[in-house]
Structure 1
């Protein structure tokens, strides 16, 4: 049972880690674009709803297939699933609240890129190489 569970964890963590690295790289390389996008006011409600739907589906897909709390990588994957789901719910149910986050000074692309890259590298390291260190 544990092997099957960890197999799911590794698969999901590999996908999520690559996404986080690409997102971090995007923020780093195209910082001006993302600064403009983050500060954009009067955003199209349909796009906000679609973004919420996407976040919700990704998060719920992770949670339905993976809700594990035993090992650090399992916890990280489950927390990411919860965060994606929560962001989706906020963007769908109370979009005004979700848009207020755009005025947060922590949403600076250079800072965000570093966070995304560090988290992506950490999760990716354990996802791609963690099996070597597991005790049987």
Structure 2
């Protein structure tokens, strides 16, 4: 599935609707304030963000000096179209040193296969990781 600005907008809506992020309002504010500055072309649908006015939106994670790039959330969905449930869509969110959303990684099967054109995802997630560095409501 080709990665472009429309596809990134699709994933933003998907994340806000389907992922159990602990502080959805802060995450939505981050997305609303962000500009997409990089689109990965490897076959995944990952994208990088730059906040227009980071001081005007709540952080999603505790600030961390010296650790500029850290995963703070992951949500994994099974794809029913793959035999025996082997297909997996993984959504990973990364925070910058200030605690703002910096990167969104959208992978299929651990980024071993490009994102398929059509997905048939189970509604329930099979794995969720929530960092203890996330700021909750």
* TM-score of the superposed pair, with normalisation by structure 2: 0.21
Higher relative helix content: 1
- Higher RCO, 1 vs 2 (CA within 8 Å, ≥6 residues apart): 1
* TM-score of the superposed pair, with normalisation by structure 1: 0.22
Structure with the greater alpha carbon radius of gyration: 1
